[in-house]
Amino acid sequence: MSTIIGQKAPELQLYDTERNLVNLADLQGSNVLLLFFPLAFTGVCTKELCSVRDNIAAYNNINAKVLGISVDSPQTLARFKEEQHLNFPLLSDFNKEASAAYGCLYESFIGWMKGVSKRSAFIIDKDGLVQYEEVLENAGELPDFEKINQKLAELN
């Protein structure tokens, strides 16, 4: 996969768990951390997003907006968000357009599922440019949050 660091971030127009349309362009002026994850209610995804939940104050303190994105339906994500007490928006990429635009879509996942988001992290700066990109082939791995937090601190 070729890097998109330094380029204008692909536009996102996705629905959140309350069925509100979220546009990446509307968040310009803030740094944005996009966290694509394979599927709600799975062990590693739950671990990752609950860790972000537990550290949300750090992101808020540096004016960084966190968005979790998966191909799950808004209804599934709403239940996941409620059960895990997640305190940041989850967006449904049910049509797989955002995952494809960011180059983080499995053609085949665990052998038979088609079109699941790869666990990935992207930082979009206040001007809408991609400043960090991490796309993991192994869904059992987590993004490097130390590097992510360092890059967000630099951008603040």
Nearest alpha carbon to residue 68 among 88, 94, 82, 84: 88
Q: DSSP character for 139?
A: T
Strand, coil or helix: 133: strand
Nearest alpha carbon to residue 43 among 139, 148, 146: 139
Specify the pairing of strand 90-92 against strand 64-70: parallel
- Annotation marks residue 104 as catalytic: no
| Options 33, 45, 69, 78, the catalytic residue | 45
d(CA 61, CA 74): 28
Give percent helix, percent strand, percent coil of the chain, each to the nearest 5.
30, 25, 40
CB 124 within 8 A of CB 35: no
Residues annotated as catalytic (active site), given as ranges: 45
